């Protein structure tokens, strides 16, 4: 929608991983060097971990785009919560082998025969497992067993394991000792720093023909970094919304306040979604169990993205203190109940105010879009 307004050839901040937008930060270059080193070794496991949205998949796809298909036969597997045999079947299917109605023993023989054929043709077989943190221990062990396939002294299969930080804990468990001994390199990708965040934004804009329209004041980059903590996927989400807001408002320059306003809108939208989820949870499981609902709310808050984090209420709606069930006098219980009621009233007022602000912002956005479409000049008629 905003590409033509800013003279861009494409959307610069799409969320889907795209190797053409690969940005070589210090940590990403390090991870790429590990992957390339692993390719030259042609054996063992390379492990790459990183936070959600840190750019792990983009690195892998960038590497795949550089591989010569006449020399490397690569298969990519996005793992899910599968058992060992199901994982084995997915690996075989990724290499194009038939897996339906095939016994495990026959599947292993077919996979080994395929890998031998690849090797005798002067090629190499590479397996890339994305989202490796979802692998069960038995599935990881099955992958390790595949690394035993050899032709004389040459390994028939090399594997890259790419996952979120929790996969490092899986690797550190005692029963993963044999796998760790076959890991020839491992690295972790963290967030971008403030300077890299600016470089990342400018890099993606230049990839689509950016010619300083829109302009970004220096403090804009600092605000984006502060709101996103340097996580590329969050940067994409915020900057995409920033360009959309600029298009609607016919803005050709952004400053810190523009970025902060967009970040606040994203948080408010997330608050509303999380608030509805909390309400549903309270209605389903909260009758007479306020303490349990509060514990659930804390668990949800601990797993929520910092950009989307919403303040949590400590007590479920309608919770009062029964002095007969705990060691508390009637006067103290009454005072505590009044205090809780005040907290609840404040929380309700804050939620209503937040919803009112969001409704007004949404209405304003719709009005601006309608006005932009209405005032857009009609296309010229074809003279022929």
Say yes or no: 175 and 209 in one domain. Answer: no
Residue 186 pLDDT level (bands cut at 50, 70, 90): confident
Average pLDDT over the chain reads 78
So what's the pLDDT on residue 320?
Answer: 40
Average pLDDT over every residue of 377-381: 58
Q: What average pLDDT does this structure show over 105-131?
A: 93
Domain's final residue, options 161, 189, 217: 189
261 or 17, which is more confident: 261
Q: Please indicate, yes or no, whether residues 272 and 323 belong to a single structural domain of this protein.
A: yes
pLDDT tens for residues 211-258? 999 999 999 999 999 999 999 999 999 999 999 999 999 999 999 999
Predicted local distance difference test score (pLDDT) of residue 59? 87
Same domain, 123 and 228: no
Q: Is residue 311 part of a domain?
A: yes
Name the domain boundary from 169, 189, 209.
189
pLDDT digits (tens, 9 = 90+) for 145-184: 998 898 888 899 999 999 999 998 888 888 888 889 999 8
Per-residue pLDDT, 35: 84
Name the residue range of residue 122's domain.
Answer: 26-189
Let me know if residue 20 belongs to a domain: no
- Whether the per-residue pLDDT at 317 is higher than 50: the answer is no
Same domain, yes or no: 119 and 262:
no
Instruction: Give me the pLDDT at residue 272, please.
Output: 58
Kindly state whether residue 19 falls inside one of the protein's structural domains.
no
Minimum mean pLDDT range among 71-85, 123-137, 232-246, 341-355? 341-355
- Number of structural domains (the chain) is 2
339 located within any domain: yes
pLDDT at 340 over 50: no
SS3 string, the chain, reads: CCHHHHCCCCCCCCCCCCHHHCCCCHHHHHHHHHHHHHHHHCCCEEEEEECCCCCHHHHHHHHHHHCCCCCEEEEEEECCCCCHHHHHHHHHHHCCCCCCCCCHHHHHHHHHHHHHHHHHCCCEEEEEEECHHHCCHHHHHHHHHHCCCEECCEECCEEEEEECCHHHHHHHCHHHHHHHCCEEEEEEECCCCHHHHHHHHHHHHHHCCCCCCCEECHHHHHHHHHHHCCCHHHHHHHHHHHHHHHHHCCCCEECHHHHHHHHHHHHHHHHHHHHHHHHHHHHHHCCCCHHHHHHHHHHHHHCCCHHHCCCCCCCCCCCCCCCCCCCCCHHHHHHHHHHHHHHHHHHHHHHHHHHHHHHHHHHHHHHHHHHHHHHCCCCCCCCC
Which of 189, 208, 229 terminates a domain? The answer is 189
93 with 208, same domain?
no
pLDDT value at residue 309: 39
> Which pLDDT belongs to residue 293?
31
| Mean pLDDT of all residues in 258-270 | 89
| pLDDT at residue 364 in the model | 66
pTM, entire model: 0.66
Residues 285 and 243 in one domain: yes
> pLDDT tens across 11-62, in order?
999 988 888 898 988 989 988 888 888 888 888 899 999 988 898 888 888 8
């Amino acid at each position: 929608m905003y590409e033509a307004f800013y003279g861009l050839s494409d959307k610069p901040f799409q969320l889907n991983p795209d190797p053409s937008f690969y940005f070589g930060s210090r940590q990403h270059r390090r991870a790429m060097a590990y992957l390339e080193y692993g390719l030259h070794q042609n054996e063992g496991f390379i492990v790459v971990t990183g936070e959600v949205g840190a750019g792990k998949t983009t690195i892998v796809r960038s590497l795949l785009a550089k591989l010569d298909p006449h020399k490397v036969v690569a298969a990519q597997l996005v793992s899910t919560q599968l058992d060992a045999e199901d994982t084995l079947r997915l690996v075989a299917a990724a290499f194009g082998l038939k897996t339906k109605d095939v016994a495990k023993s026959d599947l292993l023989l077919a996979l080994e025969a395929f890998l031998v054929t690849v090797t005798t043709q002067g090629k190499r077989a590479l397996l890339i497992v994305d989202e490796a943190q979802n692998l069960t221990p038995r599935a990881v062990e099955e992958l390790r067993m595949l690394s035993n396939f050899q032709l004389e002294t040459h390994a028939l299969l090399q594997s890259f394991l790419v996952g979120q930080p929790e996969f490092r804990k899986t690797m550190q468990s005692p029963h993963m000792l044999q796998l760790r001994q076959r890991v020839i390199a491992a690295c972790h990708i963290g967030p971008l720093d403030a300077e890299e965040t600016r470089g990342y934004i400018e890099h993606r804009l230049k990839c689509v023909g950016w010619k300083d329209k829109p302009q970004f004041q220096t403090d804009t980059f600092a605000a984006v970094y502060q709101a996103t903590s340097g996580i590329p996927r969050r940067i994409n989400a915020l900057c995409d919304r920033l360009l959309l807001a600029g298009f609607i408002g016919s803005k050709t320059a952004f400053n810190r306040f523009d970025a902060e306003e967009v970040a606040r809108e994203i948080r408010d939208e997330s608050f509303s979604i999380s608030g509805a989820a909390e309400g549903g949870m309270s209605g389903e499981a909260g009758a007479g169990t306020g303490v349990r609902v509060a514990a659930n709310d804390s668990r949800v808050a601990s797993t929520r993205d910092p950009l989307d984090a919403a303040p949590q209420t400590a007590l479920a709606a309608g919770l009062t203190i029964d002095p007969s069930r705990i060691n508390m006098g009637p006067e103290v219980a009454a005072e505590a109940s009044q205090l809780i009621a005040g907290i609840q009233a404040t929380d309700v007022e804050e939620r209503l105010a937040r919803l009112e602000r969001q409704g007004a912002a949404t209405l304003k956005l719709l009005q601006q879009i309608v006005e932009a479409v209405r005032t857009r000049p009609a296309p010229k008629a074809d003279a022929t």
